[in-house]
Amino acid sequence: FRFKDSLAEDLQSADLVISHAGAGSCLETLEKGKPLIVVINDKLMDNHQLELAKQLHRDGYVLYCNCSTLVETLQSMDLAALKPFPPGQPEKFASFLDKVFGLQ
Burial (Cβ within 10 Å: 0-12, 13-18, ≥19) of residue 2: exposed
Q: Pick the binder of another protein from 54, 66, 73, 77 (CB under 8 A).
A: 54
Residues 20 and 38: their CA atoms lie apart, in Å, by 5
Q: Pick the binder of another protein from 3, 24, 42, 68 (CB under 8 A).
A: 24
Q: Pick the binder of another protein from 48, 76, 78, 80 (CB under 8 A).
A: 48
Which residues are at the interface with another protein (CB under 8 A)? Answer: 23-24, 27, 48-49, 51-52, 54-55, 86, 88-94, 96-98, 100-101, 103
